[in-house]
């Protein structure tokens, strides 16, 4: 993994100054062996902090956000490795913990269905695989949705004491969500074999819908993060609402097609992309292409807005954390 | 402002009329926080003019301006809550000023808290990579510095063990070593001078001095005023959010010590109760000629003129006088019975003078605590703290090992043998 990381770095550029100045584009200047800028080149790298909102200059702001994603990539990778290693170094069952929630959830619902507690409708494939896939996708969505606040809370100490590209925390968060998702998707291999589900070519499209699902979940979570970090009510509310949200998402049943139930597919941001991803993974044809793509497209501007909110709110949040 | 802009190329940090508003009420602070986030998002973040405080708010920093040049080591000192750490956070870009601006030329490296971001399960080496990445350093560069960092921290024997097996001193050493070996242009340090054992501390000071010599600027916040002389070249003293001194270190430290004393004085005054039989009245510090004087040099004679007031006759009174420093506490205590002196006080009172010839103390602020007793232990009349404040202002001390330093001037002589 270390070597992979080595390759991903850009080559060429001269030695970079060692500590990174925030909000200043990296310039390739001559630096002496100690990393201290030689005198006579002082015109570069002036950072100014004032009361003005950086949002007054939106293009610069967006540029800064992406610059920090780039600057923070190595840190993100380090933190990602740290978390993954740390996560499994002190467990006996290791990766099994990643598999457990979707398996347990699926088992409960399969049991209830076999007891005829509810009916799923025509799922076109085996009900177990249908629910398992839905559970894995739903888990990825809510992981992504809860990630920004969890990330912020977990790294409060770091955020309030060091000035580093905070965007890297989001990279770590999304990375962890995708990592867990990939591990869980492995469950589908035995499931496909056991329940003899044919593999369709649309499987290759599925990543688009899955990434859209994660992106929209993370963006919505990011929009809630500032309020959530100030008021714990938000976190409590979310954990209270999640079971209901799962029920109104077509995971354990096929989506409702008649009004007003069909309205749920439009107001529930988790629904369209989850349905599209599942259809592409399991069935090969889909009725949710248009709405899914609309939501996937909408995820992009929403995520940009969320990133801007994240960036401008952090200094205010730090102030309230320490004041 | 900015009078000496002639050498503006050497200006590393320019803090220009900065104000910062805080709120102590938690619920309100959160609500204001939410409103501020909203205002930032719609682009309404603005210079808050100097008097539009919302309910419950106060100025954590008012109208602070100072500058730091290349190769300068500035100490920010002041009592708790004076605004030093807030200022450091603003310089580090963690929080925004509410008015004014802060300009930084070059790269910042902060040691706000050593070892922030260490993961206890991972090894020291792995944590060096993570910590360096947080500070913005590439793996390639860390590889080059790894030996130096490990060697400086003196942790070569345990660097591959998990951090949780380290003692707190070892963690601190590792944190300092990482941050100090990265060579930024401006180094910010918050209360990190008191790290490790004495040996390691001296090594840190030597390292910081070396950095300063190479042109690195340092801004540090500390309460350990005694250690400052080893690194700092200048001081900015904060008092209740305002800068009360910007200049040489000795004066800064003295002012700070006086401020500590002053806050204690207010507290002591509140405790005083009326209606005593005998009490300590006015207290004056004088020179040899009995003229009131507040500043002395080490070795001069200090006379303390104590007025004792009495409502009734006090027989065989005795005085106990303690000479104190706000930082170090009681330095010496003397009593009149030690020299066989008991005295009677008739109403309305009398004056007692204590002479301290050749005062041995070095630069700093000092004061007296005075107690009045009768002959027996239980005959207590009055105790008065923080009286007769005076300063020793010279001659200069030297913390680098070329002069004398500490609290007192020790009588001594050297002999070269063998």
What are the tens digits of pLDDT across the range A210-238?
Answer: 999 999 999 999 999 999 998 889 999 99
b/e B211-223 (16+ beta carbons within 10 angstroms → b): bbeebbbbbbbbb
- Across the interface, whether the CB atoms of A163 and B113 are under 8 A apart is answered no
The domain limits of chain A are 1-49, 73-322
- Across the interface, whether the CB atoms of B101 and A39 are under 8 A apart is answered no
User: What are the structural domains, with CATH classification, of chain B?
Assistant: 91-260 (3.40.50.300), 274-394 (2.70.50.60)
pLDDT exceeds cutoff 70 at B271: no
What are the tens digits of pLDDT across the range B35-44?
Answer: 888 888 887 7
pLDDT exceeds cutoff 80 at B416: yes
Question: Which residue does chain A place closest to B49, by CA atoms?
Answer: A51
Nearest-CB residue to B185 (from A37, A51, A55): A37
Question: Which residue does chain A place closest to B10, by CA atoms?
Answer: A42
Phi, psi of A301 (to 5 degrees): -60, -35
Mean pLDDT throughout B299-326? Answer: 92
For chain B positions 24-53, those within 8 Å of chain A (CB to CB) are 24, 29-30, 32-34, 36-37, 39-48
Mean pLDDT throughout B295-302? Answer: 93
- Across the interface, whether the CB atoms of B138 and A90 are under 8 A apart is answered no
CA distance B326 to chain A (A): 28
Q: What's the mean per-residue pLDDT of chain A?
A: 80
Instruction: Give the contacts of A307 (CB within 8 A, at least 6 positions apart).
Output: A65, A167, A170, A222
pLDDT on residue B5: 41
Q: Which long-range contacts (CB under 8 A, 24 or more apart) does A54-61 make?
A: A54/A311, A54/A312, A55/A308, A55/A312, A55/B40, A55/B41, A55/B42, A55/B43, A55/B45, A56/B43, A58/A308, A61/A308, A61/A311, A61/A312
For chain A positions 154-173, those within 8 Å of chain B (CB to CB) are 157-158, 160-165
CA proximity to B372, closest of B360, B385, B361: B385
CA distance B7 to chain A (A): 12
For chain A positions 17-36, those within 8 Å of chain B (CB to CB) are 17-23, 34-36
pLDDT exceeds cutoff 90 at B359: yes
What are the tens digits of pLDDT across the range B234-243?
Answer: 999 998 889 9
Phi, psi of B154 (to 5 degrees): 55, 45
The per-residue DSSP string of B352-395 comes to: EEEEE-S--B-SEEEEEEEEEE-SSTT-EEEEEEEEEEEEEEES
Instruction: Provide the percentage of residues in chain B whose pLDDT is more than 90.
Output: 28
What are the tens digits of pLDDT across the range A8-24?
Answer: 333 333 333 333 333 33
What are the tens digits of pLDDT across the range A231-279?
Answer: 889 999 999 999 999 988 988 888 887 778 788 878 899 999 999 999 9
Q: What's the mean per-residue pLDDT of chain B?
A: 84
Question: Which residue does chain A place closest to B45, by CA atoms?
Answer: A53
Q: Which of B185, B213, B217, B221 to mutate to test the interface with A (most CBs of A within 10 A)?
A: B185
What are the tens digits of pLDDT across the range A178-196?
Answer: 998 998 899 899 999 998 8
Band of pLDDT at residue B46, cut at 50, 70 and 90: low
- Across the interface, whether the CB atoms of B214 and A36 are under 8 A apart is answered yes
pLDDT on residue B196: 63
CA distance B67 to chain A (A): 14
Which range in B120-124, B157-161, B401-405 is most confidently predicted, on average pLDDT?
B157-161
| Range scoring the smallest mean pLDDT among A8-17, A194-203, B40-49, B360-369 | A8-17
Q: Whole-angstrom Cα distance, residue A212 to residue B76?
A: 50
């Amino acid at each position: 993994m270390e070597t992979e990381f080595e390759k991903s770095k850009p080559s060429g550029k001269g030695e970079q100054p060692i500590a990174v100045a925030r909000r200043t584009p990296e310039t390739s200047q001559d630096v002496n062996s100690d990393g201290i800028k030689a005198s006579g080149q002082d015109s570069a790298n002036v950072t100014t902090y004032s009361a003005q909102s950086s949002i007054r200059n939106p293009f610069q702001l967006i540029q800064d956000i992406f610059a920090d994603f780039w600057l923070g990539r190595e840190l993100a990778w380090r933190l990602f490795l740290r978390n993954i290693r740390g996560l499994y170094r002190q467990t006996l069952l290791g990766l099994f913990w990643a598999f457990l929630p979707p398996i347990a959830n699926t088992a409960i619902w399969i049991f209830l269905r076999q007891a005829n507690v509810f009916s799923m409708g025509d799922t076109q494939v085996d009900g177990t695989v249908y629910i398992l896939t839905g559970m894995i996708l739903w888990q990825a969505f809510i992981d992504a949705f809860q990630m920004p606040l969890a990330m912020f809370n977990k790294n409060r100490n770091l955020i309030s004491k060091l000035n580093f590209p905070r965007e890297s925390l989001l990279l770590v968060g999304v990375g962890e969500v995708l990592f867990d998702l990939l591990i869980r998707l492995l469950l589908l291999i035995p499931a496909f074999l056991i329940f003899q589900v044919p593999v369709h070519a649309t499987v290759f499209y599925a990543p688009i819908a899955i990434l859209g699902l994660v992106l929209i979940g993370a963006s919505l979570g990011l929009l809630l993060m500032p309020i959530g970090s100030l008021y714990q009510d938000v976190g409590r509310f979310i954990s209270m609402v999640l079971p209901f949200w799962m029920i109104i998402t077509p995971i354990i049943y096929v989506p409702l097609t008649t009004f007003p139930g069909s309205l749920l597919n439009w107001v529930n941001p988790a629904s369209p992309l989850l349905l599209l991803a599942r259809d592409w993974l399991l069935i090969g044809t889909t009725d949710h292409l248009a709405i899914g793509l609309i939501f996937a497209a909408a995820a992009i501007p929403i995520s940009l807005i969320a990133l801007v909110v994240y960036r401008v709110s952090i200094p205010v949040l730090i102030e309230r954390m320490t004041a | 402002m900015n009078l000496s802009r002639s050498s503006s190329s050497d200006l590393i940090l320019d803090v220009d009329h900065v104000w910062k508003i805080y709120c102590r009420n938690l619920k309100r602070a959160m609500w204001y926080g939410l409103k501020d986030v909203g205002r930032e998002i719609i682009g309404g973040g603005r210079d808050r003019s100097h008097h539009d405080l919302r309910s419950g708010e106060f100025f954590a920093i008012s109208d602070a301006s100072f500058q730091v040049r290349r190769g300068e080591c500035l100490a920010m000192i002041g009592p708790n809550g004076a605004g030093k750490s807030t200022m450091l956070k603003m310089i580090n870009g963690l929080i925004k000023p509410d008015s004014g601006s802060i300009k930084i030329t070059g790269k910042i490296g902060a040691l706000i808290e050593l070892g922030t971001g260490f993961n206890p399960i991972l090894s020291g080496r792995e944590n060096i990579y993570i910590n360096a990445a947080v500070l913005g350093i590439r793996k390639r560069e860390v590889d080059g510095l790894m030996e130096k960092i490990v060697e400086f921290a003196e942790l070569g024997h345990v660097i591959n063990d998990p951090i949780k097996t380290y003692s707190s001193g070892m963690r601190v050493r590792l944190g300092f070593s990482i941050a100090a070996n990265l060579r930024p242009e401006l180094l910010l340090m918050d209360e990190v001078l008191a790290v490790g054992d004495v040996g390691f501390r001296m090594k840190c000071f030597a390292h910081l001095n070396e950095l300063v010599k190479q042109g690195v600027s340092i801004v540090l916040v500390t309460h350990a005023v005694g250690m400052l002389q080893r690194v700092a070249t200048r001081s900015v003293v904060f008092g209740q959010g305002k800068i009360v001194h910007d200049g040489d270190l000795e004066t800064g430290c003295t002012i700070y010590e006086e401020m500590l004393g002053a806050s204690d004085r207010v507290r002591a005054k509140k405790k005083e109760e009326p209606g005593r039989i005998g009490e300590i009245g006015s207290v004056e510090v004088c020179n040899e000629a009995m003229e009131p004087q507040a500043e002395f040099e080490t070795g001069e004679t200090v006379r303390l003129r104590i007025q004792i007031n009495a409502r009734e006759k006090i027989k065989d009174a005795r005085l106990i006088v303690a000479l104190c420093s706000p930082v170090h506490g009681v330095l010496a205590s003397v009593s009149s019975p030690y020299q066989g002196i008991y005295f009677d006080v008739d109403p309305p009172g009398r004056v007692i003078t204590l002479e301290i010839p050749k005062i041995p103390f070095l630069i700093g602020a000092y004061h007296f605590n005075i107690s009045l007793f009768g002959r027996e232990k239980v005959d207590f009349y009055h105790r008065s703290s923080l009286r007769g404040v005076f300063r020793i202002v010279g001659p200069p001390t030297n913390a680098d090992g070329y002069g004398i330093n500490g609290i007192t001037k020790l009588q001594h002589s050297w002999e070269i043998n063998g």
